[in-house]
Amino acid sequence: MKIGTIIIQSTWDSNRAVFTRAEELGIDTAYVADHLTHPTVAGQWLADGWTTLAAAAVSTERIRLGSLVASAAVRNPTTLARAAATLQDISGGRIVLGVGAGSPIDAAADRGVTPTTRQLTERFAEVVGGIKANWAGERDWTGEHVAAQGLETAPLAPGLPAPRLVVAAHGPRGYGVVAKYADGWTTYAGPANLALGGDALWVALEEQSRGVDAACERISRNPSELTRSVLLGYGPDRPMESVAAFTECLARAGAAGFDEVVFYWPYGNPGTRFWADLDVVADAVAAART
């Protein structure tokens, strides 16, 4: 089981030590978020995730780095594909490009328009398709909502493959995007399941995984080709509450068919949503490696 962590990006003075500590602990992947604004960090400084990843790439050596997830609500496919390919070059091939539909509040902050869920979903599918078209060197790929213009320059830095493309999806239309384009699937159970914890959460996650399987089978793709990642801790579950709690999460994730568990790097103050004891984090990761 691979272990990932999502680091809520703040000042680089504080984040530098977090990325290097995550690498020292043997965590497989360190992710950042891609929001312009978010209720969980209201009034706080939220640094740009892409700039933060570039700094992390030159401050680490082994750990994979990625977005969880890049927002199709505010990102365009050509620029996003080029940014991820640039990070792939800077990091020496360690980038995981996670992409999701994004949040309407980010779209409103970006351009003063609040899209519907349907509009976000349609744009999301086109952005993911446009990223793949860019990396494949296809020209003049155009969807109804976004266009990904093929460039005269090379789509990737010499000698490097495209970053891994991991797609966040929580319902049937998103599962279709995963099946068609993605190297991997990621979920946090989705907005409809935010109140779920314990057994109910894992039942929902297993149902989602079956939905991804069905989407693959509809286009004759082998579902086992996909990696599967779950982010825990956004809802009521607290995976880093104790070593035992994290060990149980890993076991349940493995039984549900996931091959990566992602937790929130401790953030905030004791008793708040994303807080955890750093000693518990270190011990839990060490226990998982034994």
157-207 pLDDT per residue, tens: 999 999 999 999 999 999 999 999 999 999 999 999 999 999 999 999 999
Position 152 scores a pLDDT of 76
Please, what's the b/e burial string for 78-104 (b: 16 or more CB within 10 A of its CB; e: otherwise)?
Answer: bebbbbbbbbbebbebbbbbbbbbbbb
Q: What pLDDT band is residue 213 in, cutting at 50, 70 and 90?
A: very high
Among positive and negative, which fits the CA dihedral 230, 232, 237, 240? positive
Q: Is 219's pLDDT higher than 70?
A: yes
User: For 97-124, what is each residue's pLDDT tens digit?
Assistant: 999 999 989 888 889 989 999 999 999 9
pLDDT mean over 237-254: 97
Tell me what pLDDT residue 109 has.
Answer: 87
* Per-residue confidence band for 151, with pLDDT thresholds at 50, 70 and 90: low
pLDDT above 80 for 141: no
Give the pLDDT of residue 153: 84
CATH code, domain carrying 252 = 3.20.20.30
Judging by beta carbons within 10 Å of its beta carbon (0-12, 13-18, 19+), is residue 165 exposed, middle or buried? buried
Q: How far apart are the first and last CA of the chain?
A: 12
Share of the chain above pLDDT 70, in %: 97
Tell me which of 264 and 108 has the higher pLDDT: 264
State the total domains in the chain: 1
Q: What is the pTM of this model?
A: 0.95
Arithmetic mean of pLDDT over the chain: 94
Distance CA 75, CA 110 (A): 10
DSSP-derived letter for residue 10 is -
User: Strand 29-32 to strand 64-71: parallel, antiparallel, or no bridges (unpaired)?
Assistant: parallel
Query: Across residues 29-41, what is the average pLDDT?
Result: 92
Q: What's the pLDDT at 137?
A: 86
Q: How confident is the model at residue 146 (pLDDT cuts 50, 70, 90)?
A: confident
Range of the domain at 204: 2-289
9-27 pLDDT per residue, tens: 999 999 999 999 999 999 9
Tokens of 76: 């365009």
User: Tell me, what's the pLDDT at 41?
Assistant: 86
Residues 128-141, mean pLDDT to the nearest whole number: 87
